[in-house]
Chain A
């Protein structure tokens, strides 16, 4: 399959532990953020999103935290599983225009048995 992100930062975690993936975004005017998961050779999949009027949002096993002061976004995955192994990247959007999405470079999550 496609090898995405050959030189990406890698986070290795033990199966069952919690994972925290960080993202620094660029534009203080960004008002909408999405985390995507991309497995090798596949398209990115939506995980969770958050608007700028919130600082935390929880999904199933995932939590996104937004710190607008320092323009920082994080994705927390609870009880990491082998199926969580993938490249994760954040996206920021301004003014609800799709062409204004800016994507981070991504982090490769590797789950160790």
Chain B
């Protein structure tokens, strides 16, 4: 069966420090990968998605970047965090192109980032 892991679960960082959140998926190949942010009282905002290694699409211009160095690894980064980067970050995956099944989005457990 497929599993998704993201870490760290909780992170407290000072303004101006770098960020790296990591996500890995097991039990599938060539998944679509996503980073979402969820602010308190709001819905899920898609930040980045990737359909393959090295292929990143950005949905929202911001202080963050994403990379996909391996098929099942997705990393969310920032060089200098802002206060407004605080939030709950969720990694997700869905079956890749060519899969005839339902396009279910499966989420990780989330990473809570507090920027002080």
Residues of A within 8 A of B (CB): 2-8, 32, 34, 36, 41-46, 49, 51, 89, 91, 93, 96-99, 101, 103-106
Contacts and interface: CB of A to CB of B under 8 A. Distances in A.
A105 B44 CA distance: 8
Interface stretch (B14-22, B60-68, B69-77, B103-111): B103-111
Band of interface residues on B: 20 to 34
Contacts of B40: 2-6
A49 to B, nearest CB: 6
A46 B103 contact: no
Interface in B88-116: 88, 90, 92, 94, 102-110, 112
Contact of A89 (B43, B106, B109): B43
Given A98-B32, A98-B49, A99-B46, A42 B102 contact: no
Of the candidates B57, B103, B109, the one having the most CB atoms from chain A within 10 angstroms of its own CB is B103
B105 A101 contact: yes
Interface of B: 32, 34, 38, 40-44, 46, 49, 57, 59, 88, 90, 92, 94, 102-110, 112
A5 B90 contact: no
Contacts of A7: 41
B88 to A, nearest CB: 5
B109 to A, nearest CB: 5
Given A5-B40, A41-B112, A99-B32, 5 more contacts: A2-B40, A6-B40, A7-B41, A46-B105, A99-B46
18 contacts: A2-B112, A4-B88, A5-B41, A43-B90, A43-B107, A43-B109, A45-B107, A49-B102, A89-B43, A98-B34, A98-B49, A98-B103, A99-B34, A101-B105, A103-B44, A104-B43, A105-B43, A106-B43
B89 to A, nearest CB: 10
Contact of A2 (B103, B107, B110): B110
